[in-house]
Each structure stands twice: as structure tokens, then as C-alpha cells.
């Protein structure tokens, strides 16, 4: 009997799992033994494989290639689990749960999970009503109930509902691991800057340069060691600089080779050798970028700031919501947050973080030094006031940023915007 091709067997397996309905759609993260991390929706599992929908493609992964598998709870499951730990009548805990879950619901809306967000919003309104039955003068609960009620109305209004994410452009290959069949389903490709209507995003070299500027050498980051050609060029170009004095004898090149990647980068910083920065190969994100990716961006920037003020809603503020979590879009939004000034006020003020429009436009207008634009009639604040504890992590992150607002020497101008001026600015790097 003739063997059935592997791709047919895989397709039949995926179809069987979908038809049986035995697997509910859940977010899953796989940490592979080769160091890669895969995020997607769990399609199904067999004794030998885990099948994950990655960017619209059902992709199998051998269990032997997986180091760790994490299945995340749905937002509703998270909420109900948290509710089980709240003592009856504890209005403080009830309100904090409502506030933190509302943040997650806003992110669900930004990701297109509108139905789940609606379910959670209804649960939050019921919870806040319970708070107000116990404590009718709870002003923050009243404000949050009003805000959520408005958000629910927006979700029901096609004119204000989130814009659906366009269908990705197909590419020929899907992500696979060694030893697994290659599905013939298409994979989304990154939009090209010259495509009509496509969003303009940073290149990989631009992204790497931002990483170089934000790296904290005290954390001993993982950086690919410089090749011999680059080290030799450093010796030749900076032989008269005192920084290179220890490496000018005949063993100097060998001594440079012995340095770790972060130590070699430290030399570049001391030499202020900016021409070499684009050749540095960063592995992973600097700590300050990790905090942005994991906390500030998904919890506040995407679900609130971009949703209310991005996508052309505010002139001069170029922030994209489409594919917002993809690395090139995320870094583009990161750069524009740093470069943009509205009426000469920086969106991110590294010197006075609380004056950042990123924070100010999230405050109630009567408490903001620089209130959100008045033309947004249905706008509601994210923060309940200047003492809202959710402000501190954002302000602390801004404080942790290195240097001045416009320090990145990246030639990037958003569509319909004038070309950016030379972005020097950094005194020591």
C-alpha cells in the first residue's frame, strides 16, 4: 500500500481536531529548545506534536523540540479566578480588580477580540454596581462605571468600533521546526514601504540601532562579538585615542578579541564611534525595551493612547494600530512616541516624565497640566486622577530611558510628514 504524504496526514489531523471541537481556542506560548519563542492559538495536541495557529497558519511542532509549553487562560477565566479570591464586601479589592481587568479588556478590543471584551465589560459593570451598593460615595467606582459604559456604547457603534485587521498578504513558507512536515498554507508577509496604502515601518537595521542606544552595559547584555575586520578598523581609526592605548601593541588585536561583546560595545561608546553602531549585532531586547514591550505598550499605549489619538486622529502624531504587536510596527510606534511634539510639547518627556503627553492625555482634563485635545467629545480618561497608581510604572519607565528625546540617528519620516532632521543629540553615545 502506498504511504500517505506527510502534509496530507497533517492536514487531516488538523481538520479532525477542528471538526471534533475537542480543543477550545486558547493562546499558547512555546519555548523551543533552539531558543525560539512561538506565540499563537492552540489548534490541537497529539502524543507527538503540538499544533499552533501562528499568524493564521496551523503549524506543527514536535514535542521533542519543545522545552516549555504555556497555555494562557481566557480573559473571562482570569477574571473569574481572581473574583474567587476577593472577599465578599471588600470594595477596595473589588474596585482594583475592575480597574485592572478593564485595562486587559481594552487590549482585547485592540487585538480584535470584541466579543470577549463585551462579556468582560458587562461583568465589570455588575461588579462596580455591587461596589456602589456597598459604598454609594465611591467616586472612583462611579467614574470607572461611566467610562466603561461609554466604551460599551462605542463597541456597539460601527462608526466607533475598532477597525478590523486586514487579511495578511501570503508568503510561501510557514514557520516549522526540524522533523515536522511543512504545511502548504500561506504565511503573512511584512508590508513593503512602497506598497500603496501600506504602513511605513522601520527596517531591521533601524530597530537594531535603537537597541544599541538603549542598552544598559551594567546588565552585561548578550551581544555578538565583533569580527576581526571591525576590530582592525577600530584600531586603525582610533589609534590616537587614549581609549585604544592598551591595544596598540602587537597583541592588541588578540586582547580585543578576548573581550565580551558588551565590553567591545563599551569601547565604542567611550570612543563615541557612531559610525560603527549599525554594525553591532544585538541579541534580544535591552531591559528598557522589554518593560515597554511587556507592560507599557500592551497595557496602555495600544489599548488607550493609540486607540484614542493614533491612526491620524491627532495631526502630527503618527502611531499605527494595525499589527501593533509586530516588532517593526512596535518599534516604529516607539520611535514616534519619542520624536513627536504636539504644540512643542513632547509626547515623552525624559526630563519631567509627568509632563509627558503620554501621561497627561490619560488624566481627567481638570487634573491635567496639558489636557487631552478638546475636540474629542466622547473621550474618557484612562487614569482616575494624578494619584492613580497605574501612572507610576509608566513614569518610572520614562525615567529609565537614556539620553535625550531625539537621540536616535535614524532617517525615518512617516508618510505625508517632512523628512526628519539629523537626530544627533546624545552627548556620550
341-381 pLDDT, tens digit each: 999 999 999 889 999 999 999 999 999 999 999 888 778 89
pLDDT band, residue 140 (cuts 50/70/90): confident
Whether residues 292 and 393 fall in one domain: yes
Whether residues 55 and 92 fall in one domain: no
Rounded to an integer, the average pLDDT of 170-195 is 39
Q: Alpha helices of 111-237 — where are they, by DSSP H?
A: 114-134, 139-155, 204-214, 228-237
Distance separating alpha carbons of residues 308 and 218, to the nearest angstrom: 37
Whether residues 84 and 116 fall in one domain: yes
| Domain total in the chain | 4
Cβ atoms of 239 and 271 within 8 Å: the answer is: no
Dihedral-angle region of residue 178 (phi above 0 means left; psi in -120 to 50 means alpha; beta otherwise): beta
Dihedral-angle region of residue 342 (phi above 0 means left; psi in -120 to 50 means alpha; beta otherwise): beta
What pLDDT is attached to residue 48? 83
Q: What distance separates the 2 farthest-apart alpha carbons in the chain?
A: 81
Q: Which helix (H) or strand (E) holds 21?
A: none
Grid cell, residue 293, equals 514591550
What pLDDT is attached to residue 406? 52
* Buried-state track 90-119, b at ≥16 Cβ within 10 A, e below 16: ebeebbebbbebbbbbbbbbbbebeebbbb
What pLDDT is attached to residue 391? 94
The CATH number given to whatever domain includes residue 35 is 2.30.30.100
Grid cell, residue 335, equals 520611535
Whether residues 96 and 136 fall in one domain: yes
Whether residues 294 and 386 fall in one domain: yes
Closest CA to 321 of 167, 164, 154, 206: 164
Instruction: HSE, CB side, 13 Å, CA atoms: give it for residue 323.
Output: 19
Whether residues 292 and 392 fall in one domain: yes
Whether residues 232 and 252 fall in one domain: yes
Whether residues 103 and 63 fall in one domain: no
pLDDT band, residue 51 (cuts 50/70/90): confident
Query: Pick from 109, 128, 155: which residue ends a domain?
Result: 155
What pLDDT is attached to residue 345? 94
Whether residues 291 and 273 fall in one domain: no
Distance separating alpha carbons of residues 307 and 79, to the nearest angstrom: 23
What pLDDT is attached to residue 49? 86
Within a domain: residue 190? no
What pLDDT is attached to residue 22? 38
Top pLDDT among 390 and 173 is at: 390
What pLDDT is attached to residue 368? 95
Within a domain: residue 180? no
How high is the mean pLDDT of the chain?
Answer: 79
Within a domain: residue 406? no
Share of the chain above pLDDT 90, in %: 27
Q: Cβ atoms within 10 A of the Cβ of 143, count? A: 16
Query: Pick from 56, 72, 88: which residue ends a domain?
Result: 72
Distance from the first to the final alpha carbon of the chain: 68
Grid cell, residue 360, equals 497627561
What pLDDT is attached to residue 177? 38
With a CB cutoff of 8 Å and minimum separation 6, the contacts of 230 are 276, 279
Q: Of 174-183, 232-241, 374-383, 392-401, give the lowest mean pLDDT range.
A: 174-183
Rounded to an integer, the average pLDDT of 245-271 is 90
What pLDDT is attached to residue 405? 46
What pLDDT is attached to residue 218? 83
Where in the sequence is the domain holding 225, given as residue range(s)?
216-279
What pLDDT is attached to residue 404? 52
Whether residues 18 and 105 fall in one domain: no
The CATH number given to whatever domain includes residue 90 is 1.20.58
Render pLDDT for 83-114 as a digit per residue (tens, 0 to 9): 888 888 898 899 989 888 887 887 777 667 78
Render pLDDT for 368-426 as a digit per residue (tens, 0 to 9): 999 999 888 778 899 989 999 999 999 999 998 865 545 678 888 887 644 444 433 34
Grid cell, residue 409, equals 540617528
Within a domain: residue 251? yes
Within a domain: residue 188? no
Rounded to an integer, the average pLDDT of 167-174 is 38
Within a domain: residue 407? no
Rounded to an integer, the average pLDDT of 228-249 is 90
pTM: 0.57
Within a domain: residue 160? no
What pLDDT is attached to residue 414? 81
Distance separating alpha carbons of residues 423 and 419, to the nearest angstrom: 11
Distance separating alpha carbons of residues 260 and 266, to the nearest angstrom: 10
Top pLDDT among 395 and 12 is at: 395
Long-range own/partner contacts, residues 419-424 (CB < 8 A, 24 or more apart)? 420/339, 423/339
Within a domain: residue 253? yes
Render pLDDT for 200-213 as a digit per residue (tens, 0 to 9): 899 988 998 889 88
Amino acid at each position: 500500500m502506498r504511504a500517505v504524504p506527510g502534509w496530507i496526514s497533517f492536514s487531516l489531523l488538523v481538520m479532525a481536531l477542528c471538526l471534533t471541537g475537542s480543543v477550545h481556542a486558547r493562546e499558547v506560548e512555546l519555548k523551543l529548545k533552539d531558543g525560539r519563542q512561538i506565540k499563537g492559538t492552540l489548534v490541537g495536541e497529539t502524543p507527538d506534536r503540538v499544533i499552533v495557529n501562528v499568524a493564521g497558519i496551523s503549524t506543527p511542532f514536535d514535542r521533542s523540540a519543545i522545552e516549555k509549553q504555556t497555555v494562557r487562560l481566557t480573559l473571562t477565566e482570569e477574571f473569574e479566578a481572581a473574583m474567587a479570591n476577593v472577599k465578599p464586601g471588600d470594595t477596595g479589592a473589588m474596585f482594583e480588580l475592575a480597574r485592572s481587568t478593564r485595562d486587559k479588556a481594552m487590549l482585547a478590543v485592540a487585538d480584535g477580540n470584541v466579543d470577549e471584551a463585551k462579556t468582560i465589560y458587562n461583568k465589570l459593570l455588575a461588579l462596580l454596581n455591587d461596589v456602589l451598593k456597598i459604598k454609594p460615595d465611591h467616586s472612583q467606582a462611579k467614574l470607572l462605571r461611566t467610562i466603561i459604559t461609554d466604551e460599551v456604547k462605542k463597541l456597539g457603534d460601527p462608526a466607533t468600533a475598532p477597525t478590523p485587521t486586514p487579511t495578511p498578504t501570503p508568503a510561501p513558507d510557514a514557520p516549522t521546526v526540524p522533523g515536522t512536515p511543512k504545511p502548504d498554507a500561506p504565511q503573512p508577509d511584512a508590508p513593503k514601504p512602497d506598497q500603496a496604502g501600506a504602513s511605513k515601518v522601520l527596517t531591521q537595521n533601524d530597530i537594531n540601532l535603537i537597541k544599541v542606544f538603549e542598552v544598559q552595559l551594567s546588565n552585561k547584555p548578550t551581544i555578538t562579538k565583533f569580527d576581526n575586520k571591525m576590530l582592525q578598523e577600530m584600531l586603525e581609526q582610533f589609534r590616537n585615542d587614549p581609549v585604544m592605548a592598551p591595544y596598540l601593541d602587537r597583541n592588541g588585536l588578540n586582547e580585543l578579541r578576548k573581550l565580551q561583546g558588551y565590553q567591545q560595545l563599551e569601547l565604542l561608546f567611550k570612543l563615541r564611534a557612531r559610525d560603527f553602531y549599525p554594525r553591532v549585532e544585538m541579541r534580544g531586547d535591552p531591559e528598557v525595551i522589554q518593560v515597554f514591550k511587556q507592560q507599557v505598550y500592551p497595557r496602555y499605549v495600544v489599548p488607550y493612547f493609540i486607540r484614542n489619538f493614533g491612526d491620524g486622529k491627532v495631526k502630527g502624531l503618527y502611531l499605527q494600530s494595525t499589527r501593533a504587536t509586530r516588532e517593526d510596527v512596535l518599534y516604529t510606534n516607539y520611535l514616534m512616541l519619542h520624536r513627536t511634539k504636539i504644540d512643542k510639547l513632547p509626547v515623552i518627556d525624559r526630563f519631567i516624565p509627568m509632563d509627558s503627553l503620554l501621561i497627561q492625555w490619560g488624566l481627567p482634563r481638570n487634573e491635567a497640566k496639558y489636557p487631552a485635545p478638546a475636540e474629542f467629545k466622547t473621550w474618557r480618561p484612562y487614569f482616575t486622577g494624578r494619584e492613580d497608581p497605574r501612572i507610576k510604572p509608566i513614569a518610572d519607565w520614562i525615567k529609565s530611558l537614556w539620553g535625550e528625546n531625539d537621540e536616535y540617528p535614524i532617517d525615518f519620516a512617516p508618510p505625508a510628514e517632512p523628512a526628519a532632521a539629523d537626530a544627533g543629540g546624545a552627548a556620550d553615545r
